[in-house]
């Protein structure tokens, strides 16, 4: 959505009203998506493995590492594919109006393997693999991006905790 204002007399009241309508439309839509996701998470037995939050930057859908991956690996396991499938219809509706960043996170425990020389590679490849799963489920690639954060964005608490290892979908 673009708003072009020409050099003319602009009613501040009308402008503020329009700005409020535009910003509240997005917030309402994200709230509806969150409500639908929360319902699916609850009814499909994904509570504790998938959570949602509404920080300032958009809607976060957080998947635990245990659900998506085996330790130290980046291939999405069967339980992760199933969880993504259960949420895919709501996520598709989200991409009608919003973009989605697939974000990979690790804990601060160093990894040094042939496939993953550091946590940067592991977090990035995990995000790419989740993006591929979402594409296979029909989400449009032009509405998605990946971000690998390694251990640079920990949740509160110990940076070595298992909950630091996660993939987050940021709908914005």
Per-residue pLDDT tens over the stretch 84-112: 999 999 999 999 999 999 999 998 899 99
Per-residue DSSP letters for 67-94?
Answer: HH--TT--SPPHHHHHHHHHHHHHHHHH
- Distance CA(138)–CA(118), nearest Å, equals 31
Q: β-strands 100-105, 50-53: how paired?
A: unpaired
Q: Please state the rounded mean pLDDT for residues 58-75.
A: 94
């Amino acid at each position: 959505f673009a708003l072009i204002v020409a050099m003319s007399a602009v009613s501040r009241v009308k402008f503020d009203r329009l700005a409020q309508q535009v910003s509240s439309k997005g917030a309402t839509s994200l709230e509806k998506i969150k409500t639908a996701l929360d319902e699916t998470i609850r009814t499909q037995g994904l509570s504790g493995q998938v959570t949602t939050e509404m920080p300032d930057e958009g809607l976060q859908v957080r998947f635990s590492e245990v659900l998506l991956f085996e330790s130290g690996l980046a291939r999405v396991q069967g339980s992760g594919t199933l969880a993504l499938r259960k949420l895919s219809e709501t996520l598709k509706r989200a991409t009608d109006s919003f973009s989605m960043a697939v974000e990979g996170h690790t804990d601060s425990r160093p990894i040094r393997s042939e496939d993953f020389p550091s946590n940067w590679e592991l977090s990035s490849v995990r995000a790419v693999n989740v993006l591929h799963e979402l594409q296979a489920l029909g989400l449009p690639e032009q509405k998605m991006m990946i971000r690998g954060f390694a251990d640079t964005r920990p949740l509160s608490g110990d940076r070595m905790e298992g909950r630091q290892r996660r993939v987050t979908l940021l709908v914005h």
